Amino acid sequence: MRTKTEIISLLTDPGIIAIVRAQQSAQVVPLFEALLAGGVRAIEITMTTPNALAAIREARDKLGERALVGVGTVLDVNTCRAAIAAGAEFVVSPICRTGLVPIAHAAGCPIMLGAYTPTEAQIAHEADADFVKLFPADNLGPAYIKALLAPLPHLRIVPTGGIDMHNVADFLKAGCAALGVGSSLVSAKILQEANWPELTRRAAALVNAVRQAKAG
């Protein structure tokens, strides 16, 4: 069983968290395998996935320690507890639900709380969230994050929404701790066609872009 420190390390290196909104739970394991083949290890199953808890349990059972399985779109304490019981190793909420933090930490799980404004981001930090999920980030962009971190450098920002190959370097340069990547990586078309080789190709290209950005 991984410690919270080990999980945080895996979330930030290389720093890509794939956000999975699978159309059916049967897609989860082949989807995970495709992402792993491309070098993406941290994968968040959203609670909008059909039978999400069963999907989390299956991913943990079949992939073991090879993947870092998390849960997303967590809105309440009961869902948080259920997802952790199913095997989720990290918890992500799109909102600033501070009551989730002690539940996640009691189980040794890092947690990201959602924020959009500086006040919300600071509230998440003061609630002891490990990361602040800036959501939706596509209308804010790297310049906003750079401005946010100027007076609040202690925040560990993970933007979600609109992250793709073309802007990963800009987001990382702005000071992001990691990046949440959804439809630009795991697209609806890939899921519909079960095109796992294409998913592996996209994952590998994204990992390469992130590593180049960090090296540069």
Domain that holds residue 21: 4-215
pLDDT (tens digit, 9 = 90+) per residue, 135-180? 999 999 999 999 999 999 999 999 999 999 999 999 999 999 999 9
Give the closest residue to 177 by CA, choosing from 55, 2, 14: 14
Catalytic position from the list 89, 120, 133, 146: 133
Strand partners, 45: 20, 71
> How high is the pLDDT of residue 102?
98
Specify whether 6 is catalytic: no
Checking if the pLDDT of 26 tops 90, the result is: no
pLDDT (tens digit, 9 = 90+) per residue, 178-204? 999 999 999 999 999 999 999 999 999
pLDDT (tens digit, 9 = 90+) per residue, 69-112? 999 999 999 999 999 999 999 999 999 999 999 999 999 999 99
Q: What is the spatial distance between Cα 195 and Cα 214, in angstroms, rounded to a whole number?
A: 29
Q: What pLDDT band is residue 46 in, cutting at 50, 70 and 90?
A: very high
Q: What pLDDT band is residue 24 in, cutting at 50, 70 and 90?
A: confident
Q: What is the spatial distance between Cα 151 and Cα 90, in angstroms, rounded to a whole number?
A: 28
Catalytic position from the list 4, 6, 33, 44: 44
Give the closest residue to 174 by CA, choosing from 153, 151, 143: 143
Q: What pLDDT band is residue 23 in, cutting at 50, 70 and 90?
A: confident
Section 45-63 average pLDDT: 94
pLDDT (tens digit, 9 = 90+) per residue, 99-110? 999 999 999 999
Cα 145 to chain centroid, rounded: 17
Tell me how many domains the chain contains. 1
Give the closest residue to 11 by CA, choosing from 119, 122, 88, 100: 88
Give the closest residue to 110 by CA, choosing from 138, 127, 91, 85: 91
> How high is the pLDDT of residue 11?
98
Tell me the torsion sign for CA atoms 188, 134, 86, 60.
positive
> How high is the pLDDT of residue 87?
98
Specify whether 44 is catalytic: yes
CATH code of 185's domain: 3.20.20.70
> What percent of the chain lies above the pLDDT cut of 90?
94
Q: What pLDDT band is residue 25 in, cutting at 50, 70 and 90?
A: confident
